[in-house]
Each structure stands twice: as C-alpha cells, then as structure tokens.
Amino acid sequence: MAKRLKLLDSGWLMMETPETPMHVGGLMLFQLPENAPDDYMQSFFQYLLQVDDVSAPFNQKLQRVLPFNLDASWIKDGNFDIEYHVRPSALPKPGRIRELLALVSRLHAQRMDQRRPMWECYLIEGIEGNRFAIYSKIHHSMVDGVAATRLMQSRMARSADEDLPPIWSSEWTKRLPKKEKRSLPMPPSPKEALQSFSNGAAQLVDLLKTPRESNAKALFQAPKTILNHRVTPARRFAAQSWPMERIRTVAKGYHATVNDIVLAMCGGCLRDYLKSYDALPATPLVAQVPVSVRAADASDDNGNAISAVQVTLGTDIGNPVDRLRAIQESMHAAKNRLSHMEKADINAFTVLSNLPLMLGQATGLAGRRTTMFNVVISNVPGPKEPLYMHGAKMLANYPVSLIWHGYAVNMTVHSYVDSLDFGIIACRDTVPRVQRMLDYLEDALAALENHLPK
C-alpha cells in the first residue's frame, strides 16, 4: 500500500541538487572481538547480507505522480537487491582514522539513486587497533536523525553473546512486541487546518519581530560569513569524541545543561575559526538548532517529526562564561516559544519557517544574498549502555549530516555511553581545513573549565 509523503518530507527531495544530496549518515566504529577468526570480517559481511526479507523503511522506494514530488508516495520495492545496498570496503592496513574520515567524506558526497530505496551501508575493514567501521546513509525524506538513532538503538544487541538479525531484517516485525491498537486521530477539518496555519503564521510573524540586539534570535538575523556561500559536491568530514563526565562537570559548575555546553563549545570553536581567517563578524552567529517533536513512544515511526529554533552563539563575546550565558538566555527564549504552541501549530510553523530555505535551494538563490542562519547544530541523545553487532562492541557513533547552498557546515553530536561523539560535515571548497575545528572545540571546552568557580 502506498504511503504519501508529508509536506516536510517532500521538501528534502525538493532541495536535493548535485551539489547538495539530502541524506544523513553515521559512522559506527567497532572493536574486533577477542580471538576473532581470520574470516571474521567475511562472516560479518555475510551476516549483513543474509536476510530473507527487508522491513520498512528499508524496502521502500519513491513513487511519483506530479512534478517536484508534490504527490510522492512510498511503495515497496518489488525488485529489492540487498547487495546493492550493503557493500564491502577496506583501507590499506594499518588504516588510520584520518584515512577512514577521508573515505567517509567521499562516500557521503555521492548522491543516492532515487529509483531504489534510498539507503546504503558500507562495511569498512583494515583500521588500526583491530577495529572496523560501518558507514551508513539514508535519505532525510525517509527518516529524521532522532528516529534513525532510536531505530538503531532498538535493533542492536546489549551484549556480545546476543544474536540479533541485521537492522533492516523483516525478522524485527515478528520480534518486536505488538503495540496496543489505538484509534487514529481524525484528520483536521479544513477549518482546523486553516486555524493551525493561521496560528503558525502568527507565531512566525511575531518571531521575525524579535529585536536584533536581543539574545533571542529569529530567522534572517544572522550575519553573512565565509560559511554562508554556495557549496560544491566535495565534502570533508571531521570527528572526535569527548568524555561525557568532563562536559557534565562543566555544565554543573555553570548550572547549565549538556546541550548548553555543546552550543558554547561550537560558538567558541566558530569564533576562533573565523578569527583565524580574519573573518569574524561584529554581530553574533546564529545557529539553527533542530528540536524533536516526536512522541516518546514513536520510535518506529518513519518520516520527519522535527522543528527548529534559532539560537545565538555569542561569537561577538570574548569571555567564554558571558558567551555561555548569552546562549542559555537565547535557548530559554526559543524553548519557551515552542512550549506555548499546540502540536498542530508547531507543524504549521515548521513548514512555514522552512519554506524560504526550501525555495532558496530549489530556485538556486540560496547562498547568494540573505542568510537565514549561519550553521546547523544538532544534539541527538543516544544509548547509555554499550551496543554490539555480530559480537563486536561499538566504540563510537559519529553523526554525518548534510549541508545546503548558503550553509556550508553542519555540527552534529551523538551521546553514547560515557562520551559525546562530534561529527562535522562541511563543503571541502567553501570551508577549508575543517579539521582545525576539532582543536577549537577542545580550546572552547578548556576555556570554560579554566573559568569554573572555585
């Protein structure tokens, strides 16, 4: 049975160009099990391939009726080929992390075939330290980052001895407990839909009236920077982990949240990066911060259930503590606005606030004149216990997100057990030497530590 795409999901298809593929991904780093046999990697690859059938959303492809994907639906692919989607790769031994990230940069730059289910998985062996990796990507129209993370968590083992089917196996439809049947909510009447649209529009208009000098931020209050130009197809991926306990200690010392510290690290990082190119604007950078509006029990839902808020990064402030306070004030104002909106109004508000971005990408105007925001920064909560696959322990889970014309860098964070795994994706040509941002992230965290109250 065909399942029509929601308007926001269709928007990700509308924005896709040869320079801006609209998929998100992840790089999972694994440790080979102790005493693993010589053919372990071949065994792992066969484990990924040997499925009788594939579950949704992995077996779904697009069916189009109208131009611009205005009436697109998901249908089951009757000619699904698992060997097209799951592929082996290897680094020349001993492969360094630097070379692994270079490989992921190239793989992430490649668009996916929209005639097939839009996901791919690469098993990468040959990494120093008896490690291997899985890089996977899936189109944003199929699933958002929060849903993808929840799906991964729910379908990985909690011990090396637990034997589970691959994430995409249809066996999961048999193993997962049956949900209690609930009556679906009635679709809104035309009057209700119009009212939600009107409420969302009113919220957007009110937001746009936010004074520019306020720490509360709105769309189109961001300065134009070297990060906000057109992009090419080339990508550069940088990744690193920080101990969660270290960040929690800083957060506790400033009565802040972990997310506040993440934003402060990113703000300090981008301030130093732009200063190194003598390109730091006088007004603060504005981050677009995705916020999940997905219900806690909706882990198996596909599609997108996200909104976004605009937050100052305080890049005009030299003192790291004052910068953190500005970020906290900005985030509080943004969350407060969403908390006073109904779910239907948030959905309308999200669609309306994303229209300029979608139209800018589709028409080719993005990155040429105005800037809605400067950078996307996401923080996706992950599992608090170690995960395993085919007996191998996952060591880290680095997010690999997407960029657009006019928005050439994306900073995304996943929490995993006792660490925060940062993944930075950028246009290789527009944002040079992006790997230096990892050093600047460390400097920003150390600066906050050095100013902790005694």
- Active-site residue set: 140
Which of 452, 403, 399, 394 shows the shortest CA–CA distance to 431? 403
Distance, in Å, from the CA atom of 284 to the CA atom of 275, rounded to the nearest integer, reads: 13
Which of 418, 413, 409 shows the shortest CA–CA distance to 399? 413
Distance, in Å, from the CA atom of 194 to the CA atom of 150, rounded to the nearest integer, reads: 33
Cβ atoms < 10 Å from Cβ of 323: 25
With contact defined as beta carbons under 8 Å apart, do 175 and 169 qualify?
Answer: no
Which ranges of 209-342 does DSSP label H, i.e. alpha helix?
244-253, 258-276, 320-339
3-state secondary structure (DSSP) of residue 430: coil
Distance, in Å, from the CA atom of 219 to the CA atom of 221, rounded to the nearest integer, reads: 6
Strands (E) in 14-105, as ranges, are 23-31, 60-63, 73-76, 86-95
Which of 131, 140, 161, 143 shows the shortest CA–CA distance to 57? 143
Which of 350, 434, 371 shows the shortest CA–CA distance to 101? 434
Cβ atoms < 10 Å from Cβ of 209: 7
Q: What are the distances in angstroms from CA 301 to CA 156, 177, 367, 395?
A: 18, 15, 33, 27
Which of 397, 392, 393 shows the shortest CA–CA distance to 381? 397
Tokens of 212: 């520019």
Tokens of 446: 């150390």
CA triple 333-308-192, angle to 5 deg? 95
DSSP string, 364-381: T-TTTS--S-SEEEEEE-
- Burial (CB count <10 Å: 0-12, 13-18, 19+), residue 435: middle
Distance, in Å, from the CA atom of 342 to the CA atom of 192, rounded to the nearest integer, reads: 12
With contact defined as beta carbons under 8 Å apart, do 366 and 356 qualify?
Answer: no
